[in-house]
Amino acid sequence: MIKIISTLTILIALSGLSFAGEVKKIVIQDIYWIEIGDTADRVFSILDKSDVVSREQKKDPYHPGSFIEIKYYKVEGKSFTIHFARVLDPGPYEVVKIITHP
């Protein structure tokens, strides 16, 4: 089973197909990066408001009275979603999840 998954991963990589997936870091303009744990202020200093395609808010199940902010971005042809939440409440919003999209 592991060999099949490895072979499938190689075939996907060789085919040039891209799939949505959770990542720990994303590179922007080949010089900036955003990663899990970054503050929202740091992210907003790298990305422009015009890069946001849409956004939504959900209640944070781990922190009553707090929200998870989900922003959908498109930068240089790359589409990705960043989830912001308070890791310590009260505290700054931090990146808790990054998802890339094809």
Q: What tens digit of pLDDT does each residue of 31-41 get?
A: 999 999 999 99
Mean pLDDT of 53-62: 92
* pTM of the full structure: 0.77
Determine the pLDDT at residue 19: 57
Half-sphere exposure of 91 (CA within 13 A, CB side): 12
Rounded Cα distance, 86 and 42, in Å: 15
pLDDT tens digit sequence for 7-46: 344 333 433 445 569 999 999 888 999 999 999 999 999 9
Check residues 6 and 31 and name the one with the higher pLDDT: 31
Amino acid type, 67: F
